[in-house]
Amino acid sequence: MATETLFRDDAYMRSVEASVIGINERGGIILDRTVFYGTSGGQPGDTGTLTRADGRVIPIAATVCGETKDDIIHVPAEGAERPETGENLTLALDWERRYKLMRMHTACHLLSVVCPYPITGASVSEEDSRIDFDLPDAGFTKVEVTEKLTELVEADHPVFTRWISQEDLAANPSLVKSKNVRPPSGVGRIRLVCIGKDAVVDSQPCGGTHVLRTGEIGTIHIGKIEKKGRENRRFRLRFGAFSA
């Protein structure tokens, strides 16, 4: 039985009622629906709480994916009690953390616009994110990249999702920016994350959570551009103003 993944349609939903459909062999909690994102695609899973009818709280330390990205497993904190199958719970995200991840993740999309090179790795976190590009010679400075990112943030472009078919994706291979990670095939439809009116700024397959307007990202800068091997450059994104 699959979990209804509410964060895909509304990343701003922080709370919902759900019922337990199973507890796995490692104590992970499976619900009929959830607002918790499970770790995947470089974005960490959510933390938060599940509250029982009597008010007792089960802290959730991590959320991971099972076999597919539709299998969302809520991992309770060490020593926390487990709910019963069929029990109704009230879910609540650690919204402050998730919103930072949404802002950072969206900023990573903008970085891939400013630096249009194949991506070999990426990791989003609350304070500091990184993207590795297959880029033998930087030819970029932190200042230039920060300026271009800031322009895209300040333009306050809309961010929206659109579903396309496998065939559409096959006909537009340039939509895929990661070099090593292919979008899942055989799943029928692909979720595209688009930026700008009519997706003029960018569109790429992504299952993560994003803000609705680039302006929500706020002040951001490139903290570092590092050389990672002969053919890779690692760009580090940080919140706050650029400091020389």
Contacts with Zn ion, residue ranges (CB under 5 A): 193, 206, 208
Q: How far is the CB of 103 from Zn ion (least distance, A)?
A: 12
Q: With respect to Zn ion, which residue has the nearer C-beta, 145 or 206?
A: 206
On whether the CB atoms of residues 34 and 21 are closer than 8 A, the answer is no
Q: With respect to Zn ion, which residue has the nearer C-beta, 49 or 209?
A: 209
On whether the CB atoms of residues 129 and 237 are closer than 8 A, the answer is yes
| Pairing verdict, β 4-5 and 33-34 | parallel
Shortest-Cβ-distance residue relative to Zn ion:
206
Q: How far is the CB of 193 from Zn ion (least distance, A)?
A: 5
Q: How far is the CB of 65 from Zn ion (least distance, A)?
A: 15
| CA dist., res. 138 & res. 107, Å (int) | 19
Q: With respect to Zn ion, which residue has the nearer C-beta, 8 or 148?
A: 8
Q: How far is the CB of 136 from Zn ion (least distance, A)?
A: 26
On whether the CB atoms of residues 32 and 3 are closer than 8 A, the answer is yes
Label residues 27-43 b or e (16+ Cβ within 10 Å = b): ebbbbebbbbbbbbbbb
Q: With respect to Zn ion, which residue has the nearer C-beta, 30 or 108?
A: 108
